[in-house]
Structure 1
């Protein structure tokens, strides 16, 4: 038996020397060490972003729209009673006739009026619609003019304030009984 032991010892030695029949234990895999992820610090000037090139589309030519004649239907009613400078001027410009609370001197005489504010004879009424001669020549020549009293509904006299208007709707105001005129509407030609 001694030989047997010798033989076994020799085989074992041989296998140890040659590595036959034995395997080396694999080396353990290296443990990864955690590393901090480094984010680059923002620079003082940001990187430029590319600007998209705009598409050039031809703009259609605007079609001219006719400018409507100024109207003020919402601003002034056609059936109101008016006698102030602004109201009567706007009314004339809008409707091309005097408000219904105006009548000529001839019509007023038929109702008993002779002088002063017509409101004293017929409540709410004013003198207007008579022809104005432009004898002093303060207004452009060659036009036919008409006149109407202003601010007389609450007065006793007709006063000095008038609106003078032409057949082509130039509308003038005088506060000093035809000495000076202010063009309110129209081109004044």
Structure 2
């Protein structure tokens, strides 16, 4: 698990063995079975999570029982509820495993310490957050300005592995369309 994380970090930052040892020393290992929660709505998010194996999702459930998926995350991606984590307030979201998953976790205090002691790691995290912000901004724009077909085509182009690994109903939820619409779009291809 740590080998995957180390290879990931070294692709993004020049971290020494001693610096990596510090990153590893405060990490926690977590394994989730398919459908098992990392975070449930109402709980406070306590961890920054780096996925080393599997596929996960962030979603909310409305008062009619409909799921609204805001994010998928796979190997070598980060996942958490940043609002809950940073403000220490109850989360509006659930995070669970779509597949059996393995991850590394860092609590807020340890991550803050790492960011302070390891400027190169701090820069890497800041770059990741900036890219994530841009991705979210583009996703919002697409959600309000694209047709269902355009959303689906863009999703498949950007995330071909998600299109194969995530159930159709989850993909429809992520795109904000009905499963029947997604089925029709898939049959057109």
- Could you state the TM-score of these two structures normalised by the residue count of structure 1? 0.22
Q: Which has the larger radius of gyration?
A: 1
The structure with higher relative contact order (CA 8 Å, sep 6+) is 2
Select the structure that is richer in helix: 2
Select the structure that is richer in strand: 2
- Could you state the TM-score of these two structures normalised by the residue count of structure 2? 0.22
